[in-house]
Structure 1
Amino acid sequence: MMKNIAIVGAGLSGASAARVLRDEGYDGRLWILGEETHRPYDRPSLSKSVLSGADEMPPELAEPTWYDDNQVELVSGTKVSAFDLRGRKLELASGWSIDVDGVLLATGARARRLDVPGSQLDGVHYLRTMDDSLAMRTSLKPGMSVVIVGGGLIGCEVASTARKLGAEVTILETADELLLRVMGPMVGAGCRGLLEAMGVRVLLGAKAASFLGTSRVEAVMTQANERVSADLVLVSIGAEPDVTLAAAAGLACERGIVVDGAGLTSVSGVFAAGDAAAWPLRGGGRRSFETYLNAQAQSATAARAMLGCVAREPQVPLSWTEIAGRRMQMIGDLAGPGTVVVRGDPSAGSHTVFRIDGDRVAAAVSVDAARDFVAARRLVEMAAMVSADALRDVNTDLRGLTRATRGA
């Protein structure tokens, strides 16, 4: 039985794991070690309510008293500089060390950097932390020109927020559609239409070649030699799992810290979860997921495994977002092989898009269709065999399909 557990990382995965450990009866010593000076907080709000000013600060993931009440030693503003696997010791940059017999690495991910001329100019931002969001909020003014490099989830969320604040917004996306990786071309095109209706300018197949300006950014130059005025730039071109500590310690890493379906790394007693972990996919392979819901699920699974309750759970990508006032919920990879089926009328708003692969439901995205998504999620998780006609027919009871599949 582990008596000393340290969680490295004070984001969602770290805070969730600590809560599960205590809820499951772990009564040993428990640390959460975080590099930021803030208590664990909600990151999805950074591109929305915090950036807009609707929330002064992001919601905390636990009441401030929870840590003391549950004897969780939260150490903020500290970096773990080394991990001695053999001696089971964490070395902190402050010079302090912690002896442990169990470690959960929840080190998250870092924003992928864009190395082009002018990338160090003032006014070029990345969005990963509370401080990043607050810095952008201070600079963001009505009427200013905002260029967002990257048309993924965060880029589109920030475009929506900035436009609502009165900024002139341009998205530069290298692919031939927005949100391809998470939503596929059909839903991505729909999101582009929503953003363009708000007044966001979207340039597809456009790559940032340089940032222009003297001390502060004034424009972005594309590889096609188009000059796009910019008072503020957000670079949002994805994230990279933070494996620095794990790799230096000698843990296996490939597109993240390699773990099994219970979060166990290549070394006994050492686990990983969240954006830093390369978790097994249900359909084979492994990768980091970078989603709120997957991070919660992984941290709970890993925490229970640390206590001896091992239930290996390969993951399916699961996420949600709000863009241009529409709520979108996603499960699986809509851009994969197979047939795309649309349920409902996209032009009317609420609809769900399914991907069927080999007659089985492999992915779904719902737009303003939360009730349908509950059933769609179950159909994907069950890899249910359902006909395209049944999914397409709005009179089909999706919940009935899940019950029929479960009983088959």
Structure 2
Amino acid sequence: MMNIVVVGGGHAAAQLSASLAEHALPAKVTLVTEEAHLPYHRPPLSKAYLKDAEPAAAWLRSADFYAGAGAQWRLSSRVVRIVRDERRIELAGAESLPYDRLVLATGARARSLPGLQEGLGNVHTLRNLDDAARLRHRLSAAESVLVIGGGFIGLEIAATAAQLGKRVVVLEAAARLLSRSASPEVSDYLLASHRAAGVDIRLNTAIEAFDVQGGQLVAVRTAQGAVPADLVVVGIGAVPNDELARQAGLLCDNGIVVDAHMATSDPAILAIGDCTAFPFAPLGRRIRLESVQNANDQARCAALALAGTAEAYSALPWFWSEQGALRIQIAGVPEAHHERIVRGDPGQGRFSVLHFRDDTLSCVESVNVPADHMAARKLIAEACRVPRDKAVDASIPLKSLA
């Protein structure tokens, strides 16, 4: 019987255990996570969990499911070292676990704000359930919220705080929101929408200094002046948790480098989810993604490899973000040099931005048009050549152009 050890407790680890059970692989599966909880849905943490009167974690699967699947969880357990030549991992407290195959599903952590000291009582990041519980507790009493970073997580929290009646300021150092993740058309629409909802968004605003008093961040200083801080959320991106892999001598480059079957530079070790840098054929390079879809699909791919029926990873990336009344959905990966056309009318609050590489649809960003998103996933996955004159016409269903 194969001994599989999984390090991590997020979406990727949970899906891997389920997929291994589906394949009926004769294996002992042990999952080790620093969290005290079984895996849960993470997207609601920046939205419903912060707003609900009595929030509760939404578990991905029950404890009974894992028991029935033969998966043993080691909660509140930290892995400190991988000993590759002996095929074992060491836990804090000197315990060791042997493995035949090791899967790293270590995720990513919030990027720290340079120059800001650790441990300030009113400064928060949001990556897990414990983070969300702390933020929710402080948010209930706060009058104002300062969000540092105009990315997806920052905008989701800003929208939630505004719905709760808080005064919200968002500071973004770049010239537009989501400058690395979305087209200018989507960025401009989100900027106008959040401002219309009462969120004070300040672009081109870099932080120059911090005012700290009594263990609290009371203000940040910018070239435009000081911005007072009651409750602060830092959302300036995430960095992969690849320290274990680096310590073990595995190849890393903005994440743990894997091949098309999720294998690392050590064939006995796989990696999945937010921590991986994987080959993405449409762009001809490795990329790292942070999404539930990517975590789940890479877990399915890794399960096939462990079961001896490996298939190259070719899943189309897709992603969604809910910001107040806005639902943004992206299929594919936006590239700045691809041609773009706008389908629909942003003024009506429903539109899509279609990206083309030559004559092939490569990415679609949809705002409040779920039908376009679902059609786009099929069109892009099948590399369909979509006529621009018809695609731009919102009266023609996108799915009819396949």
TM-score (norm 2): 0.96
SS in 1 for 2:103: strand
Residue 273 (structure 2) pairs with residue 274 (structure 1):
yes
Partner of 2:74: 75
Classify the secondary structure of the residue corresponding to 2:181.
helix
User: Distance between the aligned counterparts of 2:29 and 2:126, measured in 1?
Assistant: 30
Q: How far off is 1:334 after superposition? A: 2.7
Q: CA deviation at 1:178?
A: 0.8
SS in 1 for 2:220: strand
Q: Give the Å deviation of 1:333.
A: 2.8
- Maintained 8 Å contact 2:205/2:224: no
* Aligned position for 2:399: 399
For the residues of structure 2 that align with 1:303 and 1:231, how far apart are their CA atoms? 46
Alignment deviations for residues 38-78 of structure 1 (CA, whole Å, 9 cap, x no partner): 11111111111112235522211101221222221100000
Do the aligned residues in 2 keep the contact of 1:17 with 1:302 (CA within 8 Å)? yes
Tell me by how many angstroms 1:180 deviates: 2.1
Q: Which moved more, 1:25-34 or 1:324-333?
A: 324-333
Q: Distance in 2 between matches of 1:392 and 1:195?
A: 26
- Higher mean C-alpha deviation, range 49-58 or range 62-71: 49-58
RMSD over aligned Cα atoms: 1.5
Shift of 1:119: 5.6
Paired residue type of 2:297: A
Deviation at 1:225, TM superposition (A): 4.5
Structure 1 residue 179, shift from structure 2 partner:
1.4
CA–CA distance in structure 2, aligned partners of residues 143 and 168 of structure 1: 9
Aligned equivalents of 2:236, 2:44: Cα separation in 1: 19
Question: Which one-letter code corresponds to 1:179 in the other structure?
Answer: L
8 Å contact kept, 2:142–2:230: no
Q: Which residue of 1 aligns with 2:311?
A: 311
3-state DSSP class of the match of 2:321? strand
Once the two structures are superposed, the pairs formed by residues 129-168 of structure 1 within 5 Å of their partners are: 129-141=128-140, 144-168=143-167
- 1:214 Cα deviation after fit: 0.7
Contact 1:279 1:315 in 2 (8 A): no
Shift of 1:120: 4.4
CA shift digits 1:111-134 (9 cap, x unpaired): 110122556432111111111111
Distance 1:314 1:74 in 2: 30
Q: Does the CA-based 8 Å contact 1:342-1:392 persist in structure 2?
A: yes
Partner of 1:381: 381
Say whether the 8 Å CA contact 2:331–2:373 is kept in structure 1.
Answer: no
| One-letter code aligned to 2:341 | V
1:245 aligns with 2:244: yes
TM-score, reference length from structure 1: 0.94
- Within 2, Cα distance between the matches of 1:280 and 1:188? 27
Q: Which residue of 2 aligns with 1:329?
A: 329
Taking only the aligned residue pairs, the percentage that are identical comes to: 36
Partner of 1:234: 233
Q: Structure 2: how far apart are the matches of 1:183 and 1:55?
A: 34
Partner of 1:405: none
Q: Would the alpha carbon gap of residues 117 and 183 (structure 1) be closer, same or farther in structure 2, given more than 3 Å must change? A: closer
Retained in 2: the 8 A contact 1:180–1:335? no
2 CA distance for matches of 1:293 and 1:105? 17
Further displaced range: 213-222 or 96-105: 213-222
Count of residue correspondences = 400
Alpha-carbon distance, 1:315 to partner: 4.9
CA distance in 1, matches of 2:102, 2:390: 47
The Cα of 1:290 is off from its aligned counterpart by 0.6
Structure 2: how far apart are the matches of 1:120 and 1:74? 30
Call closer, same or farther: CA 1:55–1:273 in 2, change over 3 Å: farther
Amino acid at match of 1:357: R
Instruction: State the distance in 2 between where 1:30 and 1:143 align.
Output: 44
Per-residue deviation at 1:335? 4.1
* Cα drift, residue 164 of structure 1: 0.7
